[in-house]
């Protein structure tokens, strides 16, 4: 099974068999994570998305309304 995973990694990347084996060990046998690392694709956490700016102007407006009414100044 490990040899099959190494072959998959070698077909999809420019890694040698030794590099593929090392990366596979580093990522606990997860081929997808090895490929993501090779392509510099990193999954973001849900908490990172909450820090992002809203996608539309309308979302920004409602976010500001929410923050305004939530603030202690309104009491």
**Between 7 and 54, whose confidence is greater?**
7
Among 34, 44, 22, 31, smallest CA distance to 1 is for 31
Q: For the segment 14-55, what is each residue's pLDDT rounded down to a tens digit? A: 999 999 999 999 999 999 999 999 999 887 665 555 556 667
54: left (phi over 0), alpha (psi -120 to 50) or beta: beta
Q: What is the pLDDT of residue 72?
A: 74
Is the per-residue pLDDT at 9 higher than 90? yes
Distance CA 75, CA 33 (A): 49
Sequence spans of domains, the chain: 2-39
């Amino acid at each position: 099974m490990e040899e099959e995973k190494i072959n998959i990694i070698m077909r999809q990347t420019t890694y040698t068999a030794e590099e593929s084996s090392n990366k596979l060990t580093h990522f606990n046998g997860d081929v997808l994570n090895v490929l993501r690392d090779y392509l510099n694709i990193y999954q973001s956490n849900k908490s990172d998305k909450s820090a992002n700016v809203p996608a539309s102007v309308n979302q920004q407006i409602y976010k500001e309304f929410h923050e305004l009414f939530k603030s202690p100044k309104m009491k």
